[in-house]
Structure 1
Amino acid sequence: MLDWLRLIRASGLCTILANLAASAVIAVYARGGLDPNWLGKRLLQGSGMRVGWVLLASFLLYASGMLWNDLADIERDRTLHPRRPLPSGRVNYVTAYVAGIVMAVAALLVASQLEHGFHVAGVVLSLALLYNFVTKHVPWLGSLNMALVRFSHALFALLLLGSDHLEMAVLGIMDAFGAPVVLPGAQVALTYPLLLGGYVFGLTLISELESRRGTRLELIFGGACMAAVIGIAAVMLVTAHWIADFQQRGQHVRMVASLFLGLGILGLLLWRVGSRWWAAVRLGRKTLIGPIIPAALGGMILFDALIATSFHPLGGLLILMLYPVFRVVGKMIRMD
């Protein structure tokens, strides 16, 4: 059982939960307000099964993507990572292949229970398979591909709130490509997916350097991409709408506590990821790339918590609670 959990990178499910939660919090509180009942009512509006379908489909999409990643790399892993479940023979290749197909099909079937869900999940799955079998080892293109995987999943996450939020985001994409869209707020729905995509692009670009020859400039550029979106999130925090709301109500303690929470998350993110990245840049050693990757994967949860805090502090706090779970599960179920 542990080997199967290693194959699907079980700790990474925490990042999926963080992405889902951040998408929902940001979409609900994008126009202001702090009533926590708004989010609950929106999640429960319509079919009571909607949230369950989105969660299950997301988990299956992630798990199948991770499994196909190892299936695609089995020959390479026989040399570089012979102790992993597939190359070591602890998990049978044919069994894993069948499981990958079953999970991919199940993800689409579950997503089909949601309006537009089948199509968006199909895009997510197609991009994940394209990355695993085609672009992963193509410098820069693989990083862009993986960024699009998380971007498209962040759009899928909007189905937590109903198809109207997804449709709003699609209109935002159309507007970005010059289509005449007059619906106010269409581009706002793309804020989080774009920021998440930028973070993942930088992270994947850095991770590429662990298995291929690269330059220090690429390492710097990958870190700069992550720093740029983290900087945008920090600006969003210090200009959050709830700062003025708390001031008008005289709730200065809540305002300070919320700012302290956001700045604390920012500091933890910079320390966990930035310190490792800077060490690799300063010393220029390839062996220092490895520690950046798990730190940055966990940093994705902190990044989500930081952005969510700028829209609703309680949302950021809830997402932050996933971070220690990620750390503990990651230590218990380590990939060789």
Structure 2
Amino acid sequence: MTAVGDVLELVRAPAALTVIGDAIAGGYAGGGRLAGRRWLLPLASVFLYSGGMALNDYADRRLDAVERPERPIPSGRVPPRRALGIAAACMAVGVGLAATGGGRRGLAVAVPLVGAVVAYNTVFKETAAGPLSMAACRGLDVMMGARGVATALPAATVVAVHTAGVTAQSRGEVHGGSTGVALAGLAVTGATTIAAVGGGRADDVPGRGSRTRVAATAGAVAGGIAYAGTLLPSQLAALADPSAANVRTATRAGIGAMIPLQATLVARTGAVVPAAAIGALDLVRRALAARRRAGDVT
């Protein structure tokens, strides 16, 4: 019988915290804020991400049986059909929440996002286009929060570029990576940090005073430092020794760094309080990650 903990492990529950800020960043980058039903959009991201993780393990079940037999499907804790059903249910709920929270415009982004998630897991994951395919997923997630507003494209691009770098590095998690990929990852981190901190919109928003602009700048710089600080130690370790263990650590850091990156993107619009709230999610993620390493949370 499948336990709740097995399902949580299948959908990578702690990692779902890293997508909540996508929609919030998109909303503020699009010139608005999340209010009322629009707060359902971050929840939609969580369900779509969870469905993607379940689909990932379903698609990789035969490979995982050889390389990662401890995972829920190859270990027999979650039957393949049940995993596929969980993936479909999560995505259906996610689309429903996107439609409720974002209306037709939110739905118009959520549907292609589901298509991108399915395409990555079933077609592109093991190809050269894999990192770009995954980047498209996260970029669309940001745009879903913005309900397709074009002014959110720079923020979506920043998240997408970071995602491409992490995805490329993750390919060495089992057999080890390479110095070239590690160097590329460092370059992506540097470029993403500069783009995230330097692309503020506070000056362009009517009614923004000098105090808001100062707060936006300070918040963005603080977020950028947190983002780079989360990534650089493990990336430098992977550069010095691109072993599978070091690559896995760098990949986990890259996934976690999504949160301070999102906080930076929100802070640079002048929305410092929401940015701080997103940053607090990173503390929760770190606590859950520590408990997971101790075997308490899957």
Q: CA deviation at 1:71?
A: 0.6
Q: Describe the shift of the 1:331–1:51 C-alpha distance in structure 2 as closer, same or farther (beyond 3 A).
A: same
Matched, 1:233 2:196: yes
Q: CA deviation at 1:60?
A: 2.0
Which residue in 1 is equivalent to 2:282?
323
In the alignment, the residues of structure 1 paired with residue 43 and residue 98 of structure 2 have an alpha-carbon distance, to the nearest angstrom, of: 8
- Secondary structure of 1:28's match? coil
In the alignment, the residues of structure 1 paired with residue 276 and residue 64 of structure 2 have an alpha-carbon distance, to the nearest angstrom, of: 38
Listed one character per residue, the Cα deviations across residues 216-250 of structure 1 (whole Å, up to 9, x for unaligned) are 2122123312321211123236x9539xx665xxx
Q: What 5-or-longer segments of structure 2 have no aligned partner?
A: none
Which residue in 1 is equivalent to 2:264?
306
Q: CA deviation at 1:27?
A: 2.2
Note the 1:91-240 alignment, pairs <5 A.
91-113=78-100, 114-139=103-128, 141-159=129-147, 166=148, 168-169=149-150, 188-211=151-174, 215-236=178-199
Listed one character per residue, the Cα deviations across residues 103-156 of structure 1 (whole Å, up to 9, x for unaligned) are 2333334444421344322211111111111211113x1000000001111111
Listed one character per residue, the Cα deviations across residues 33-86 of structure 1 (whole Å, up to 9, x for unaligned) are xxxxxx36xx24xxxx3433x244322211110100011111111121111111
Q: CA deviation at 1:261?
A: 4.3
Q: What 5-or-longer segments of structure 1 have no aligned partner?
A: 30-38, 160-165, 170-187
Q: CA deviation at 1:158?
A: 1.4
Q: CA deviation at 1:99?
A: 2.0
Q: Describe the shift of the 1:156–1:260 C-alpha distance in structure 2 as closer, same or farther (beyond 3 A).
A: closer
- Secondary structure of 2:173's match? coil
Q: What is the percentage of aligned positions where both structures have the same residue?
A: 24
Q: Describe the shift of the 1:261–1:122 C-alpha distance in structure 2 as closer, same or farther (beyond 3 A).
A: closer
Q: CA deviation at 1:255?
A: 7.2
- Secondary structure of 1:116's match? helix
Kindly indicate whether the alpha-carbon contact (under 8 Å) linking 1:147 and 1:197 is maintained by their aligned counterparts in 2: yes
Selected match of 1:73 from 54, 60, 64: 60
Q: Which has the higher contact order (CA 8 A, sep 6+)?
A: 1
Q: CA deviation at 1:194?
A: 0.9
Which residue in 2 is equivalent to 1:4?
7
Matched, 1:21 2:50: no
Q: CA deviation at 1:6?
A: 1.1
Q: Describe the shift of the 1:15–1:21 C-alpha distance in structure 2 as closer, same or farther (beyond 3 A).
A: same
Listed one character per residue, the Cα deviations across residues 279-315 of structure 1 (whole Å, up to 9, x for unaligned) are 2112343431111111111111011111221111223
Which residue in 2 is equivalent to 1:36?
none
Larger radius of gyration: 1
Opposite residue 237 of structure 2, the aligned amino acid is A
TM-score, with structure 2 as normaliser: 0.85
In the alignment, the residues of structure 1 paired with residue 213 and residue 194 of structure 2 have an alpha-carbon distance, to the nearest angstrom, of: 21
Kindly indicate whether the alpha-carbon contact (under 8 Å) linking 1:144 and 1:201 is maintained by their aligned counterparts in 2: yes
